[in-house]
Amino acid sequence: MQTAPNNDLNQSQAPESASIPPSACPPPPSAQNPGSIRLWVRDLLISAVASIFIITFLYQPVRVEGTSMLPRLEDRDRLFINKFAYHFSAIERGDVVVFHYPRDPEKSYIKRVIGLPGDRLRIDHGTVWINGYPQSENYVPEDFRDSRSYAEIVVPENTYFMMGDHRSISSDSREFGPVDRSLIYGKAVFVYWPTRDAGVVR
Protein backbone atom coordinates (compact mmCIF):
# COMPACT_ATOMS: atom_id res chain seq x y z
CA MET A 1 0.00 0.00 0.00
CA GLN A 2 1.43 3.38 -1.01
CA THR A 3 1.33 6.16 1.61
CA ALA A 4 0.75 9.83 0.94
CA PRO A 5 3.74 12.16 1.29
CA ASN A 6 4.10 14.08 4.54
CA ASN A 7 2.94 17.65 3.79
CA ASP A 8 3.34 18.99 7.32
CA LEU A 9 6.58 20.67 6.26
CA ASN A 10 6.53 23.07 3.35
CA GLN A 11 9.57 24.32 1.46
CA SER A 12 10.11 27.13 3.96
CA GLN A 13 10.34 24.68 6.83
CA ALA A 14 13.05 22.17 7.63
CA PRO A 15 13.51 19.48 10.26
CA GLU A 16 15.28 20.49 13.46
CA SER A 17 18.48 18.66 12.54
CA ALA A 18 18.91 20.83 9.47
CA SER A 19 19.06 23.96 11.62
CA ILE A 20 22.21 22.83 13.50
CA PRO A 21 25.21 24.81 12.26
CA PRO A 22 27.92 22.71 10.55
CA SER A 23 30.46 23.73 13.17
CA ALA A 24 28.43 21.88 15.83
CA CYS A 25 28.58 18.51 14.00
CA PRO A 26 31.17 16.04 15.32
CA PRO A 27 34.15 15.53 13.00
CA PRO A 28 34.53 12.20 11.16
CA PRO A 29 36.53 9.49 12.94
CA SER A 30 39.64 10.16 10.84
CA ALA A 31 39.60 13.79 11.93
CA GLN A 32 39.12 12.83 15.57
CA ASN A 33 42.10 10.46 15.53
CA PRO A 34 44.54 10.83 12.64
CA GLY A 35 46.36 7.68 13.79
CA SER A 36 43.28 5.45 13.59
CA ILE A 37 44.12 4.26 10.07
CA ARG A 38 47.65 3.37 11.15
CA LEU A 39 46.25 1.43 14.11
CA TRP A 40 43.83 -0.40 11.82
CA VAL A 41 46.63 -1.34 9.42
CA ARG A 42 48.79 -2.47 12.33
CA ASP A 43 46.04 -4.71 13.69
CA LEU A 44 45.44 -6.14 10.22
CA LEU A 45 49.12 -6.98 9.80
CA ILE A 46 49.29 -8.59 13.24
CA SER A 47 46.23 -10.72 12.41
CA ALA A 48 47.77 -11.79 9.10
CA VAL A 49 51.07 -12.75 10.74
CA ALA A 50 49.23 -14.65 13.48
CA SER A 51 47.20 -16.54 10.86
CA ILE A 52 50.33 -17.49 8.92
CA PHE A 53 52.00 -18.63 12.15
CA ILE A 54 49.02 -20.79 13.12
CA ILE A 55 48.77 -22.44 9.70
CA THR A 56 52.53 -22.94 9.40
CA PHE A 57 53.38 -24.17 12.86
CA LEU A 58 50.15 -25.58 14.29
CA TYR A 59 48.49 -27.03 11.20
CA GLN A 60 49.85 -28.94 8.26
CA PRO A 61 48.12 -29.61 4.96
CA VAL A 62 48.19 -33.25 3.85
CA ARG A 63 46.71 -35.22 0.99
CA VAL A 64 44.80 -38.46 1.43
CA GLU A 65 46.09 -41.31 -0.71
CA GLY A 66 43.83 -44.32 -0.95
CA THR A 67 40.26 -45.17 -0.02
CA SER A 68 40.61 -46.90 3.36
CA MET A 69 38.87 -44.00 5.16
CA LEU A 70 35.79 -43.85 2.97
CA PRO A 71 33.15 -42.55 3.17
CA ARG A 72 34.43 -39.49 5.11
CA LEU A 73 37.81 -39.16 3.41
CA GLU A 74 38.21 -39.80 -0.29
CA ASP A 75 41.34 -40.41 -2.32
CA ARG A 76 43.17 -37.12 -2.96
CA ASP A 77 41.16 -35.14 -0.44
CA ARG A 78 43.24 -32.38 1.11
CA LEU A 79 42.92 -31.63 4.79
CA PHE A 80 44.58 -29.87 7.69
CA ILE A 81 46.01 -31.84 10.57
CA ASN A 82 46.72 -30.33 13.98
CA LYS A 83 50.35 -31.12 14.80
CA PHE A 84 50.15 -29.96 18.41
CA ALA A 85 46.75 -31.28 19.51
CA TYR A 86 48.22 -34.17 21.46
CA HIS A 87 50.75 -32.01 23.26
CA PHE A 88 47.84 -30.63 25.26
CA SER A 89 45.21 -33.39 25.22
CA ALA A 90 45.06 -37.17 25.20
CA ILE A 91 44.48 -39.30 22.14
CA GLU A 92 40.89 -40.53 22.32
CA ARG A 93 39.07 -43.48 20.85
CA GLY A 94 37.46 -42.40 17.58
CA ASP A 95 40.06 -39.77 16.70
CA VAL A 96 41.28 -39.78 13.09
CA VAL A 97 45.06 -39.49 13.21
CA VAL A 98 48.07 -39.40 10.92
CA PHE A 99 51.10 -41.51 11.78
CA HIS A 100 54.29 -42.92 10.31
CA TYR A 101 53.76 -46.42 8.97
CA PRO A 102 55.48 -48.75 11.46
CA ARG A 103 57.07 -50.87 8.73
CA ASP A 104 58.33 -47.91 6.72
CA PRO A 105 58.48 -44.57 8.60
CA GLU A 106 58.96 -42.75 5.30
CA LYS A 107 55.28 -43.41 4.58
CA SER A 108 52.32 -41.91 6.44
CA TYR A 109 48.94 -43.49 7.14
CA ILE A 110 45.65 -41.97 8.23
CA LYS A 111 43.36 -44.17 10.33
CA ARG A 112 40.91 -44.07 13.19
CA VAL A 113 41.92 -44.86 16.78
CA ILE A 114 40.00 -47.94 17.91
CA GLY A 115 41.91 -49.28 20.91
CA LEU A 116 43.69 -47.33 23.66
CA PRO A 117 46.61 -48.52 25.80
CA GLY A 118 45.43 -51.23 28.20
CA ASP A 119 42.23 -52.05 26.29
CA ARG A 120 41.25 -55.69 25.86
CA LEU A 121 40.39 -55.80 22.18
CA ARG A 122 39.12 -58.52 19.89
CA ILE A 123 37.24 -58.64 16.60
CA ASP A 124 34.58 -61.25 16.07
CA HIS A 125 33.43 -61.55 12.45
CA GLY A 126 33.79 -57.81 11.91
CA THR A 127 32.39 -56.69 15.28
CA VAL A 128 34.93 -54.91 17.48
CA TRP A 129 34.78 -55.78 21.18
CA ILE A 130 36.59 -53.61 23.72
CA ASN A 131 36.81 -54.57 27.38
CA GLY A 132 33.96 -57.02 26.91
CA TYR A 133 31.57 -54.65 25.10
CA PRO A 134 30.70 -54.61 21.37
CA GLN A 135 31.32 -51.25 19.74
CA SER A 136 28.67 -49.35 17.82
CA GLU A 137 30.68 -47.85 14.98
CA ASN A 138 28.29 -45.60 13.10
CA TYR A 139 31.16 -44.22 11.03
CA VAL A 140 31.46 -47.59 9.26
CA PRO A 141 28.67 -48.03 6.68
CA GLU A 142 27.20 -51.50 6.40
CA ASP A 143 28.55 -51.90 2.87
CA PHE A 144 32.10 -51.24 4.10
CA ARG A 145 32.11 -53.82 6.89
CA ASP A 146 33.82 -57.20 6.63
CA SER A 147 33.69 -60.49 8.49
CA ARG A 148 37.31 -60.72 9.62
CA SER A 149 38.16 -61.79 13.13
CA TYR A 150 41.12 -60.89 15.32
CA ALA A 151 42.22 -62.76 18.42
CA GLU A 152 41.95 -60.90 21.71
CA ILE A 153 44.90 -58.79 22.78
CA VAL A 154 45.64 -56.26 25.46
CA VAL A 155 46.80 -53.12 23.66
CA PRO A 156 50.35 -52.55 24.95
CA GLU A 157 51.28 -49.50 26.94
CA ASN A 158 51.93 -46.38 24.87
CA THR A 159 50.44 -47.90 21.69
CA TYR A 160 47.14 -47.54 19.84
CA PHE A 161 45.11 -49.94 17.72
CA MET A 162 44.20 -48.32 14.38
CA MET A 163 41.62 -49.26 11.78
CA GLY A 164 40.30 -47.74 8.58
CA ASP A 165 36.60 -46.99 8.17
CA HIS A 166 36.45 -48.98 4.93
CA ARG A 167 37.10 -52.23 6.76
CA SER A 168 37.02 -54.53 3.77
CA ILE A 169 40.04 -52.90 2.08
CA SER A 170 41.94 -51.23 4.92
CA SER A 171 45.51 -52.16 5.82
CA ASP A 172 45.68 -51.35 9.52
CA SER A 173 46.59 -52.67 12.97
CA ARG A 174 44.98 -56.00 12.11
CA GLU A 175 48.04 -56.49 9.88
CA PHE A 176 50.87 -54.44 11.36
CA GLY A 177 49.81 -54.36 15.01
CA PRO A 178 49.28 -51.46 17.42
CA VAL A 179 51.04 -48.19 16.58
CA ASP A 180 53.54 -46.67 18.97
CA ARG A 181 52.65 -43.23 20.32
CA SER A 182 55.90 -41.77 19.01
CA LEU A 183 54.78 -42.45 15.42
CA ILE A 184 51.56 -40.42 15.74
CA TYR A 185 52.18 -36.84 14.64
CA GLY A 186 48.81 -35.22 13.95
CA LYS A 187 45.05 -35.21 14.35
CA ALA A 188 42.88 -34.79 11.26
CA VAL A 189 40.84 -31.63 11.68
CA PHE A 190 39.31 -30.20 8.52
CA VAL A 191 38.94 -31.14 4.86
CA TYR A 192 39.39 -28.04 2.67
CA TRP A 193 39.51 -29.54 -0.83
CA PRO A 194 37.57 -30.44 -2.86
CA THR A 195 34.82 -28.15 -1.67
CA ARG A 196 32.19 -30.88 -1.90
CA ASP A 197 34.01 -32.74 0.88
CA ALA A 198 34.85 -29.66 2.97
CA GLY A 199 34.08 -29.93 6.64
CA VAL A 200 35.24 -31.08 10.04
CA VAL A 201 36.65 -34.62 10.23
CA ARG A 202 34.64 -36.73 12.67
DSSP designation for 171:
-
Residue 155: Cβ-neighbour burial (10 angstroms; 0-12, 13-18, 19+): buried
CB atoms within 10 A of CB 68: 23
Q: Which residues are catalytic?
A: 68, 111
- DSSP E strand boundaries for 53-103: 59-63, 78-82, 96-101
- DSSP E strand boundaries for the chain: 59-63, 78-82, 96-101, 104-115, 120-124, 127-130, 133-134, 150-154, 159-163, 179-180, 184-193, 199-200
